[in-house]
Amino acid sequence: MISIRAYEDGDLEHCRQLWRQLTEHHREIYGDRTIGGDQPGLFFDDHLARVGAARIWVAVDDVIVCGTVGLIVDGDEAEIEPVVVMRDRRGDGAGHLLLTHAIAEARRLGVRFLSIAPVARNRRAIELFLREGFATVGRIELFTELKPSDRRWEDGITVHDLPLRL
Protein backbone atom coordinates (compact mmCIF):
# COMPACT_ATOMS: atom_id res chain seq x y z
CA MET A 1 0.00 0.00 0.00
CA ILE A 2 1.37 3.38 -1.02
CA SER A 3 1.41 6.23 1.49
CA ILE A 4 2.59 9.84 1.29
CA ARG A 5 4.87 11.34 3.93
CA ALA A 6 7.11 14.36 4.40
CA TYR A 7 10.58 14.28 2.88
CA GLU A 8 13.31 13.21 5.32
CA ASP A 9 17.10 13.63 5.09
CA GLY A 10 17.47 9.88 4.52
CA ASP A 11 15.42 10.20 1.30
CA LEU A 12 18.10 12.18 -0.53
CA GLU A 13 19.64 9.34 -2.54
CA HIS A 14 16.22 7.88 -3.40
CA CYS A 15 15.05 11.28 -4.67
CA ARG A 16 18.25 11.73 -6.69
CA GLN A 17 17.55 8.35 -8.32
CA LEU A 18 13.97 9.42 -9.08
CA TRP A 19 15.31 12.62 -10.67
CA ARG A 20 17.70 10.53 -12.80
CA GLN A 21 14.78 8.40 -13.94
CA LEU A 22 12.73 11.50 -14.78
CA THR A 23 15.64 12.85 -16.82
CA GLU A 24 16.06 9.50 -18.58
CA HIS A 25 12.35 9.54 -19.47
CA HIS A 26 12.73 13.03 -20.95
CA ARG A 27 15.79 11.88 -22.89
CA GLU A 28 13.77 8.99 -24.31
CA ILE A 29 10.68 10.94 -25.34
CA TYR A 30 12.77 13.69 -26.96
CA GLY A 31 15.47 11.41 -28.39
CA ASP A 32 18.13 13.64 -26.85
CA ARG A 33 20.81 12.07 -24.61
CA THR A 34 22.15 15.50 -23.58
CA ILE A 35 19.09 16.50 -21.51
CA GLY A 36 20.06 16.86 -17.86
CA GLY A 37 23.82 16.71 -18.35
CA ASP A 38 26.19 14.08 -16.97
CA GLN A 39 24.80 13.87 -13.42
CA PRO A 40 21.09 14.64 -13.62
CA GLY A 41 20.34 13.25 -10.16
CA LEU A 42 22.21 16.15 -8.59
CA PHE A 43 19.56 18.54 -9.93
CA PHE A 44 17.39 17.22 -7.10
CA ASP A 45 19.79 18.93 -4.67
CA ASP A 46 19.14 22.28 -6.39
CA HIS A 47 15.40 21.59 -6.27
CA LEU A 48 15.60 20.74 -2.56
CA ALA A 49 17.49 23.97 -1.83
CA ARG A 50 14.97 26.03 -3.83
CA VAL A 51 11.76 24.43 -2.57
CA GLY A 52 12.80 23.45 0.94
CA ALA A 53 12.30 20.08 2.61
CA ALA A 54 9.02 21.24 4.16
CA ARG A 55 7.42 21.43 0.68
CA ILE A 56 8.59 18.05 -0.63
CA TRP A 57 6.79 14.76 -0.05
CA VAL A 58 7.56 11.20 -0.99
CA ALA A 59 5.43 8.21 -1.92
CA VAL A 60 6.42 5.11 0.04
CA ASP A 61 5.42 1.52 -0.60
CA ASP A 62 6.30 -0.32 2.60
CA VAL A 63 9.80 1.17 3.05
CA ILE A 64 10.64 1.89 -0.61
CA VAL A 65 10.51 5.52 -1.77
CA CYS A 66 8.78 5.18 -5.15
CA GLY A 67 7.89 8.82 -5.91
CA THR A 68 8.23 12.45 -4.96
CA VAL A 69 6.47 15.78 -5.45
CA GLY A 70 7.32 19.37 -4.60
CA LEU A 71 5.24 22.51 -4.11
CA ILE A 72 6.77 25.90 -4.88
CA VAL A 73 4.73 28.61 -3.15
CA ASP A 74 4.89 32.29 -4.06
CA GLY A 75 2.22 34.31 -2.29
CA ASP A 76 -1.21 33.12 -3.39
CA GLU A 77 0.23 31.21 -6.36
CA ALA A 78 2.02 27.89 -6.36
CA GLU A 79 3.47 25.38 -8.78
CA ILE A 80 3.64 21.63 -8.40
CA GLU A 81 7.14 20.69 -9.54
CA PRO A 82 7.74 17.87 -10.33
CA VAL A 83 5.64 14.73 -9.88
CA VAL A 84 8.08 11.84 -10.26
CA VAL A 85 7.30 8.14 -9.94
CA MET A 86 9.78 5.28 -10.18
CA ARG A 87 9.74 3.79 -13.68
CA ASP A 88 8.46 0.34 -12.67
CA ARG A 89 5.77 1.85 -10.40
CA ARG A 90 4.15 4.18 -12.94
CA GLY A 91 0.45 3.42 -13.24
CA ASP A 92 0.21 2.08 -9.65
CA GLY A 93 -1.48 5.21 -8.28
CA ALA A 94 1.56 6.85 -6.67
CA GLY A 95 1.43 9.83 -9.06
CA HIS A 96 -2.25 10.39 -8.28
CA LEU A 97 -1.59 10.24 -4.52
CA LEU A 98 1.38 12.62 -4.75
CA LEU A 99 -0.58 15.06 -6.89
CA THR A 100 -3.67 15.06 -4.67
CA HIS A 101 -1.46 15.52 -1.59
CA ALA A 102 0.23 18.58 -3.13
CA ILE A 103 -3.16 20.00 -4.20
CA ALA A 104 -4.52 19.53 -0.67
CA GLU A 105 -1.46 21.24 0.80
CA ALA A 106 -1.88 24.17 -1.62
CA ARG A 107 -5.53 24.50 -0.54
CA ARG A 108 -4.52 24.37 3.12
CA LEU A 109 -2.07 27.22 2.48
CA GLY A 110 -4.76 29.34 0.81
CA VAL A 111 -3.23 29.21 -2.68
CA ARG A 112 -5.48 30.81 -5.29
CA PHE A 113 -3.77 29.64 -8.51
CA LEU A 114 -2.00 26.31 -8.75
CA SER A 115 0.00 25.37 -11.85
CA ILE A 116 1.92 22.42 -13.18
CA ALA A 117 4.21 22.41 -16.23
CA PRO A 118 4.84 18.97 -17.75
CA VAL A 119 7.09 18.63 -20.77
CA ALA A 120 4.99 18.74 -23.94
CA ARG A 121 5.70 15.16 -25.03
CA ASN A 122 4.85 13.55 -21.68
CA ARG A 123 1.34 12.49 -22.67
CA ARG A 124 0.76 10.20 -19.65
CA ALA A 125 1.57 13.03 -17.25
CA ILE A 126 -0.63 15.47 -19.14
CA GLU A 127 -3.51 12.98 -19.06
CA LEU A 128 -3.10 12.57 -15.28
CA PHE A 129 -3.04 16.32 -14.73
CA LEU A 130 -6.15 16.81 -16.88
CA ARG A 131 -8.01 14.17 -14.83
CA GLU A 132 -7.04 16.08 -11.68
CA GLY A 133 -8.50 19.36 -12.99
CA PHE A 134 -5.51 21.06 -14.60
CA ALA A 135 -7.25 22.01 -17.87
CA THR A 136 -6.66 25.77 -18.17
CA VAL A 137 -3.68 26.99 -20.18
CA GLY A 138 -2.00 29.81 -18.28
CA ARG A 139 0.99 30.40 -20.52
CA ILE A 140 2.82 28.87 -23.43
CA GLU A 141 6.58 28.60 -23.47
CA LEU A 142 8.09 28.59 -26.95
CA PHE A 143 11.62 27.56 -27.93
CA THR A 144 13.87 27.94 -30.93
CA GLU A 145 17.00 25.93 -31.59
CA LEU A 146 20.05 28.20 -31.90
CA LYS A 147 22.59 25.40 -32.33
CA PRO A 148 22.04 22.26 -34.40
CA SER A 149 21.24 19.13 -32.40
CA ASP A 150 20.02 15.59 -32.92
CA ARG A 151 16.66 16.34 -31.31
CA ARG A 152 13.73 15.44 -33.52
CA TRP A 153 10.73 17.72 -33.26
CA GLU A 154 7.29 16.31 -34.00
CA ASP A 155 4.08 17.90 -35.20
CA GLY A 156 2.17 18.68 -32.06
CA ILE A 157 -0.78 20.86 -31.19
CA THR A 158 -2.56 23.84 -32.64
CA VAL A 159 -3.15 26.96 -30.55
CA HIS A 160 -5.12 29.87 -32.01
CA ASP A 161 -4.95 28.05 -35.38
CA LEU A 162 -1.13 28.13 -35.18
CA PRO A 163 0.73 24.82 -35.54
CA LEU A 164 3.29 24.07 -32.83
CA ARG A 165 5.87 21.29 -32.61
CA LEU A 166 6.61 19.08 -29.63
User: What is the count of structural domains for the chain?
Assistant: 1
pLDDT in tens, 95-111: 999 999 999 999 999 99
Range of the domain at 22: 2-139
Q: Which DSSP symbol is given to 56?
A: E
Query: Does residue 160 form part of some domain?
Result: no
User: Does the predicted model carry a pTM greater than 0.85?
Assistant: yes
How buried is residue 95: exposed, middle or buried, by Cβ count under 10 Å (0-12/13-18/19+)?
buried
Query: Does residue 152 form part of some domain?
Result: no
How far is Cα of residue 85 from the mean position of the Cα atoms in its chain?
9
Among 157, 158, 164, 147, residue whose Cα is nearest residue 32? 147
Query: Does residue 87 form part of some domain?
Result: yes
pLDDT (0 to 100) of residue 150: 77
Q: In CATH, what number is assigned to the domain containing residue 59?
A: 3.40.630.30
Query: Does residue 54 form part of some domain?
Result: yes
Query: Does residue 17 form part of some domain?
Result: yes
